[in-house]
């Protein structure tokens, strides 16, 4: 994988014209774009297709969490948008994730993955919802369950890369948000790491939003991050 292909740009917008324009500008400079609930709720599948039609791969980050049959149907529908990566919540359980894995294969989606613990959460947040185990233990538990289900990887904090690699092996895909270059603001992410440190730790894909999308020159910001990853 080339350095720039590791970078997926997180879109925090409802503006489809802006998203498509950014996709055109960044095509060939990043690996893809992550499209979340805000954009999808505003623009639906057609909005996603508008981005994929530019030739920009899309990570459709909708974090499905429902009964197995409903999630399987949602995954199959996601495949029609041309998305390259889709995800579910690992906390939906083994049965739900097995259904998602099978549906992902049927829909020919290259990568169907699960979310473990959101990177905006810390230990206090976890305790507040009744999970008293350390974050690392809970993340590893959910990652192993994800692997057992047949899904290809997880979204996780960079801080949990090493223990997940130990538990799940080198081929399990790790998609890592909460990535902030040294020159960017931390924002609302609580468990963060620089791009180079995350790749050195074993991340496969880095999800980076505001350091690129809110930069004065998004193209230059993307190039700067890719250059940081060259040779790692």
Residues of the domain holding 55: 3-229
The answer to whether 98 and 149 are in contact (CB under 8 A) is: yes
Query: What's the confidence (pLDDT) of residue 191?
Result: 52
Q: What is the pLDDT of residues 93-144, one digit of tens each?
A: 999 999 999 999 999 999 999 999 987 888 999 999 999 999 999 999 999 9
Inter-residue contact 96 to 70 (CB < 8 Å): no
Q: Confirm whether 63 is a catalytic residue.
A: yes
**Distances 130 to 124, 126, 134, 155 between C-alpha atoms, Å:** 10, 7, 12, 22
Catalytically annotated residue among 2, 25, 34, 63: 63
Provide the residue-wise pLDDT of the chain in tens; the chain has 232 residues. Answer: 889 999 999 998 999 999 999 999 999 999 999 999 999 999 999 999 999 999 999 999 999 999 999 999 999 999 999 999 999 999 999 999 999 999 999 999 999 999 999 878 889 999 999 999 999 999 999 999 999 999 999 999 888 999 999 999 999 999 999 898 887 655 555 556 899 999 999 999 999 999 999 999 999 999 999 999 987 6
List the CATH number of the domain containing 135: 3.20.20.70
Enter the pTM of the model: 0.92
- What is the count of structural domains for the chain? 1
Q: How far apart, in whole angstroms, are the C-alpha atoms of residue 49 and residue 210?
A: 23
C-alpha distances in Å from residue 110, one per residue of 57, 84, 124, 153, 207: 11, 5, 35, 11, 17
CA 219/CA 172 separation, integer angstroms: 30
């Amino acid at each position: 994988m080339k350095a720039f292909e590791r970078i997926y740009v997180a879109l925090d917008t409802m503006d489809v014209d802006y998203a498509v324009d950014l996709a055109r500008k960044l095509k060939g400079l990043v690996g893809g774009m992550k499209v979340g609930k805000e954009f999808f709720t505003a623009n639906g599948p057609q909005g996603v297709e508008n981005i994929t039609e530019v030739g920009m791969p899309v990570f459709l980050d909708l974090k499905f969490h429902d009964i197995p049959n409903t999630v399987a149907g949602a995954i199959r529908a996601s495949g029609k948008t041309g998305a390259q990566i889709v995800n579910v919540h690992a906390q939906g359980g083994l049965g739900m994730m097995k259904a998602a894995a099978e549906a992902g294969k049927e829909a020919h989606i290259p990568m169907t993955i699960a979310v473990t613990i959101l990177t905006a959460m810390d230990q206090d947040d976890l305790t507040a919802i009744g999970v008293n185990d350390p974050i690392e233990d809970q993340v590893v538990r959910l990652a192993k369950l994800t692997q057992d289900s047949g899904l290809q990887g997880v979204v996780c904090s960079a801080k949990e890369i090493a223990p997940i690699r130990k538990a799940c092996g080198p081929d399990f895909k790790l998609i890592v948000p909460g990535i902030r270059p040294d020159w960017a603001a931390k924002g609302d992410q609580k468990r963060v790491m620089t791009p180079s440190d995350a790749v050195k730790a074993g991340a496969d894909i880095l999800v980076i939003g505001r350091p690129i999308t809110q930069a004065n020159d998004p193209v230059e910001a993307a190039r700067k991050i890719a250059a940081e990853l060259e040779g790692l």
